[in-house]
Chains A and B, each alone.
With several copies, the nearest count.
Chain A
Amino acid sequence: MIELENVAYSYGGGELLSDISLKLAAGSFHFLTGPSGAGKTTLMKLCYGALSPTSGTLRLFDKDVHTLDRDEIAQIRRRVGVVHQDCQFLDHLPVKENIALPLHVSDRSNEAETGDIDDLMHWVGLTDRAAALPPELSGGERQRAALARAVIMSPDVVLADEPTGNVDWDMSQRLLRLLIELNRMGKTVLVATHDLSLIRATKSQVQARVLRIANRRIQLAGADL
């Protein structure tokens, strides 16, 4: 699905990420950790084509990102569901329409009328807030809405950047279960988080690998967790 080969990235100063080689195979489940400011969000942005590597090769769905035009990137976004760390919405549309937005913009509006979206909203516990506007949501509700929006298209890849930073333990377990469910259906999942207990709790339920960014490189964190 997503393949990085000796990828490096720099925002202009020194290199933030160097020599990253990584392969997110179809159906794999990865956690991404590392100290604040290590480059987790940056790596995720590379994975959905929001940034292009300053050197090395990055292949998304077997296409080199450097060769993609803007419309192809838009197409890829439809196959990659992203939960952003600072989740943003269309503040003038109710939560439910925001969650259905990816369907609308990719010409699958009719699916928005089926019951899937209600099931999903129920799962993330937003049924009561369906008609609220995003600025009226609590921090945790926003994150859950962002997760629902990321998976509504049942994308091939789900990238979630700190999806549980603002929710309590029970809810974060519930959200993780949703991701595990999707992973069992064959979706590739990458979750950036600093919550080690969440990683531990998940590892018992799914074959998850833990990646760690340290000193600009990526390492596989193993038994030490």
Chain B
Amino acid sequence: MLASRDRHADRVVPPSGFTAQLTLFAAAAMAFLAVFALALSLASGRLAARWGDELARSATIRITAPQDQQSAQVEAALRILETTKGVRTARALTDAEQQALLAPWFGADLALDTLPVPRLIEVIEDADGMDPAGLRLRLAAEVPGAVLDDHSRWRAPLVSAASRLRTLGWTSTLLIAAVMAAMVTLAANAALAANAQVISVLRLVGATDAYIAQAFIRRFTIRTLIGASAGMALGMVAVLFMPGGNDETATFLTGLGFQGWHWITPLLVPPLAALVAFLATRMAARRTLETLT
């Protein structure tokens, strides 16, 4: 009984037409763009988080000392670091690592011991961070050849750039979501306006507002859901086949890509679009109905 009534309620709305296509297409296109913007936001968010975190949480200590005192000073510095609050790990770079760092200037075939190259200690801070000024004082007292570089020179611009990037990503996502909402709302309104005769005929033969609104709401919500799902699927395929989606540098440079649970976020786009369509159609239907007696 109820099913047959619902089936008929669906039939009272004309099956198609340009406004229907418009709703489908607008939902699909906007979902597609939203997936891209989401990918951008999340990728840049990851990047921003990594830069912000890693840069803020790592420091380098450079120990310049006569060859014979070097290892002693390195050990002294490491001991100090072990007892420093806010340091998670600290370790001296191996010869190979230092060689790799210096290769651009001295060539790969450099023999480190022929040079008075300073030793480098990599310090990783924990979540609370350490107090660089205090550490500097302790190092100056006990390890005269040590210089602490807490990367603040590099950090400031990169952290601000990274957070700008994240802001940009979310701004575009919100922007596209807003455009989608507006487009779906307008398409629903246009479709209702195109169906003004249907609505007035139904009202005149004794249909209640709820029946009429329901018929349109269901139609548009489903249409938006279908459109947005198609757009989302296409968008995810496009992101997946984005060149360099795996390597993190490439991902950063091409700006896109999902990782881990982020793959779930685009799945939220169709239900949200459908919700917008539901609310928009309900409002539009109510408004249209109120002009009729």
| Whole-angstrom distance between the Cβ of A155 and the nearest chain B Cβ | 9
With A77-B206, A90-B202, A101-B205 already in contact, 8 other A-B pairs whose C-beta atoms are closer than 8 Å: A74-B206, A74-B208, A75-B206, A90-B198, A101-B12, A109-B1, A109-B8, A110-B1
Rounded to whole angstroms, the CA-CA distance of A101 and B1 in the bound complex is 16
Known interface pairs A77-B204, A84-B204, A88-B197. Does A70 touch B12 (Cβ–Cβ under 8 Å)? no
A-to-B contact residues, CB < 8 Å: 49-52, 70-71, 73-78, 82, 84, 88-93, 97, 101-102, 104-107, 109-110, 149, 153
Task: Tell whether, in the assembled complex, residue B15 and residue A92 are in contact, meaning their CB atoms are under 8 Å apart.
Answer: yes
Partner pick for A90 among B4, B12, B211, CB 8 A cutoff: B12
Task: Tell whether, in the assembled complex, residue B197 and residue A104 are in contact, meaning their CB atoms are under 8 Å apart.
Answer: no
Rounded to whole angstroms, the CA-CA distance of A104 and B210 in the bound complex is 14
A-B contact pairs, 13 of them (CB 8 A): A74-B207, A75-B206, A76-B206, A77-B203, A88-B200, A88-B204, A91-B14, A92-B15, A102-B205, A104-B9, A105-B206, A106-B206, A149-B205
9 pairs of A and B residues whose beta carbons are closest in the complex: A77-B206, A105-B207, A78-B206, A92-B14, A74-B208, A102-B205, A104-B8, A50-B293, A88-B201
Q: Which of B20-61 contact A (CB under 8 A)?
A: none
- 0/1 interface trace, chain B 256-293, chain A, CB 8 Å (1 if under): 00000000000000000000000000000000010001
Partner pick for B4 among A75, A97, A109, CB 8 A cutoff: A109
**Chain A residues with CB below 8 A from B9, complex form:** 104
Rounded to whole angstroms, the CA-CA distance of A24 and B58 in the bound complex is 92
Closest to A52 in B: B293
**Chain A residues with CB below 8 A from B85, complex form:** none
Task: Tell whether, in the assembled complex, residue B12 and residue A93 are in contact, meaning their CB atoms are under 8 Å apart.
Answer: yes
Task: Tell whether, in the assembled complex, residue B209 and residue A71 are in contact, meaning their CB atoms are under 8 Å apart.
Answer: yes
**Chain A residues with CB below 8 A from B203, complex form:** 74, 77
**Chain A residues with CB below 8 A from B4, complex form:** 109-110
Is B153 in the interface zone, CB < 8 Å from A?
Answer: no
Residue of B9, B15, B208, B211 with highest tally of chain A CB at under 10 A: B208
Task: Tell whether, in the assembled complex, residue B206 and residue A90 are in contact, meaning their CB atoms are under 8 Å apart.
Answer: no
| Whole-angstrom distance between the Cβ of A95 and the nearest chain B Cβ | 13
**Chain A residues with CB below 8 A from B197, complex form:** 88, 91
Task: Tell whether, in the assembled complex, residue B12 and residue A102 are in contact, meaning their CB atoms are under 8 Å apart.
Answer: no
**Chain B residues with CB below 8 A from A101, complex form:** 12, 201-202, 205
| Whole-angstrom distance between the Cβ of B203 and the nearest chain A Cβ | 7
Known interface pairs A88-B197, A88-B200. Does A105 touch B11 (Cβ–Cβ under 8 Å)? no
Closest to A50 in B: B293
Known interface pairs A90-B12, A93-B12, A109-B4. Does A77 touch B293 (Cβ–Cβ under 8 Å)? no
